Every structure is written in structure tokens, then in C-alpha cells.
Amino acid sequence: MMQGLVMYSGQNCPGCVQAKRWMDANGVRHQVVVVDGNMQLVQQLMSTTGQRTVPQFFFNGQWLSGGFGQVQQLHAQGQV
């Protein structure tokens, strides 16, 4: 897994678009990995998170089980 904040996303995912807009507007540095068409990556995410939906967020290689709300919380705490 990559370091920093990483969002695994789908190209036509409204929640992903909303999260990216918020992160961009709030100056949150992040990387976006689009999983569309990459079944190996989707399988890896499912085995790591138990989830099959996007967006999924990782911070320094650790899955943020609280999703976008946890990203906002980390931002409020000055961690991202």
C-alpha cells in the first residue's frame, strides 16, 4: 500500500467525486487509485477491507474503516 492518504475510487462513483472535491477544496493531499476494470485490485481491496464498494480510504497503509467521515476527522485533527 502507498503512504499518505489514498482513495480507491470508481470513475462514475458519486461518493468518490464528492470526497475528491472536498479534499481538493480543503487542501488535503491525497492519491486516487481508480479500480475500474482492475479485478486483481478489487479482489485485493475486498480481502483487505471486506468491502466491495468505493470509495475506500487508506492512511499510511492502514484502512480507514470509518470511510470519508474518518478522513474529515483526521483533517480536523491536522493529521492530513
Minimal CA–CA distance to 55: which of 14, 2, 3?
A: 14
Residue 47 sits in a domain whose CATH number is 3.40.30.10
Output the pLDDT for position 17.
96
- Integer distance in angstroms from the first to the last C-alpha of the chain? 17
Total number of domains in the chain:
1
Q: From edge to edge, which strands make up the β-sheet containing 56-59?
A: 31-34, 5-9, 56-59, 62-63
State the residue range of the domain holding 40.
5-76
Output the pLDDT for position 1.
57
- Residue 26 φ then ψ, to 5°: -100, 10
Whether residue 4 contacts residue 31, with contact meaning beta carbons closer than 8 Å, is answered with: yes
Cα–Cα distance for residue pair 3/30, rounded to 1 Å: 10
For 30-79, the pLDDT digits (tens) are 999 999 999 999 999 999 999 989 999 999 999 999 999 999 999 999 99
